[in-house]
Structure 1
């Protein structure tokens, strides 16, 4: 029995991924979809593998990679198994960069939380005088170290 892989139109992929068709076409123009097939008429025929690639591209964008860096990654994918170690190293580096950024954002959030509490109390009291005496930013910053 012959089974064929489901093929999706660009409109269907747009609905599945939540991306506009124009973005998907742009990704294709940047060679972000190394496995994408086209009909003789040039109509894109997407498979689940292409949809998964689009999701990875979106993840890479969210993690701060430039379009050029993403393009480098998709070129590595197109090389197949010979680039597995390069891709492995790339993803570990991206992950570490993101963890560092998350740590920095947590520190920023703690200071913002402090300032929210500070101004909530100052607004309640109608003055900053009592807040200055009872809440110290230095204490918050020292806890971040």
Structure 2
């Protein structure tokens, strides 16, 4: 069985060791064993859990929802409806984020075209473009 130190896991996920200890404290990373020297030992299961945590956090899932999800996951047969509802809700949230980002990207690209044309006008000595044309 492959195991990892807190330093290795910290580097792997770009998280401070204090965050890993916090995740353990609140129950997001359960069953972290320790050596006789009191050093944490992380397993592939922890690595998988941290990958899921990172994924969910990147989509804006709150710590409360993360805890709720992993609590449900421990007894998935009893909580399958709750798991599905939570994941569907998060999917809707991600879809909304994507829509907002796509709209913002359109605006940025519009400005990019406009200012690229201004630069071209400056370089050629021609008339500046009119913003209303974009």
- Give the shorter-chain TM-score range: 0.7 to 0.9
**Partner residue, 1:117:** 113
SS of residue paired to 1:95: helix
Distance in 2 between residues matched to 1:9 and 1:133, nearest whole Å: 56
CA distance, structure 1, for counterparts of residue 13 and residue 49 of structure 2: 11
Residue 115 of structure 1, CA deviation: 0.6
Query: Residues 90-115 of structure 1, C-alpha deviation per residue, up to 9 Å, x if partnerless?
Result: 12221221122112211110111011
The answer to whether the aligner puts 1:27 opposite 2:23 as a matched pair is yes
RMSD of the alignment, in Å? 2.5
Superposed counterparts of 1:83-102, under 5 Å = 83-102=79-98
Equivalenced residue count is 131
Distance in 2, matches of 1:83 and 1:33, equals 20
Equivalent residues in 2 for 1:1-145 (5 A)?
Answer: 5-38=1-34, 42-126=38-122, 130-132=128-130, 135-136=133-134
Structure 2, unpaired ranges of 5+: none
Query: CA separation in 1, counterparts of 2:40 and 2:120?
Result: 60
User: Could you tell me how far 1:8 is from its partner in structure 2?
Assistant: 2.3
1:87 Cα offset (Å): 1.7
Change (3 A) 1:46 1:122: same
| TM-score of the aligned structures, taking structure 2 as reference length | 0.79
